[in-house]
A = this chain, B = another copy of it.
Amino acid sequence: MSDRNHLNGSEATSARTERGQQTRERILDSAARLFYVKGVGSTTLDDVRAASSTSKSQLYDHFPDKTTLIHAVIDVQSRSVLAREAGRLKGVRNLSGLRRWRDALVQSNMLHDGSYGCALGAMSSELSDNDERSREALAAAFRTWQQLLVETLTRLRDLGVLTSDFDPRKLGTGLLAALQGGYILAQNGHSPELMADALDMALDRIETFADR
């Protein structure tokens, strides 16, 4: 109530009351899920409306148009993916920790037989060509993601787990690329082993720098 109109510079419209806030969240959740499994382009606003049990006018009250909704979903998904990754990576202090991070990714990939890929990666290849703003938002997310990996590698180096003769930035990029490429291959081939193989190559490369 009191401070509910926190228009924080971002593109947020409305959300004046508790109830409205929940509606907004429901729309966002449904849209995120639909964009993820069906793709942004093949998801109609009517799909979103139905999935979130709302009406046309509510949709347009909260999000003036589809593009705005897309941006909002990108925002939500970025936070969600990055929060998950930050959580998984922050405790990694040795090579088996890194392997466990790998296992977690492979496991969740196996849950749906590889399908559905990476929420950010999928949006990226679908939107980058057509919507500059989406591209930038996703690029920022990828940079942060890569940064998380770089920090992890740097930490391992500082802990003496890895030697110093590698460039954490490049290795972080390689790791993220392997992850994204693994998602693509696994999704396309319906086989999570492809993801595993992709990540393993990257991890093996990293272990090359193990200090023993």
Contact = CB atoms under 8 A, between A and B. Distances in A.
Contacts of A200: 170, 174
Interface stretch (A1-9, A12-20, A101-109, A175-183): A175-183
A83 interface: no
Interface stretch (A34-42, A59-67, A86-94): A34-42
A185 B173 contact: yes
A100 interface: no
A187 interface: yes
Copies, count = 2
A24 interface: no
A95 interface: no
A200 B177 CA distance: 11
A124 interface: yes
The main secondary structure of chain A at its interface with chain B is helix
Interface stretch (A49-57, A154-162, A201-209): A201-209
B184 A121 contact: yes
Interface of A: 37-39, 41-42, 115-117, 121-122, 124-126, 128-130, 135, 138-139, 142-143, 169-171, 173-182, 184-185, 187-190, 194-195, 197-198, 200-202, 204-205, 208
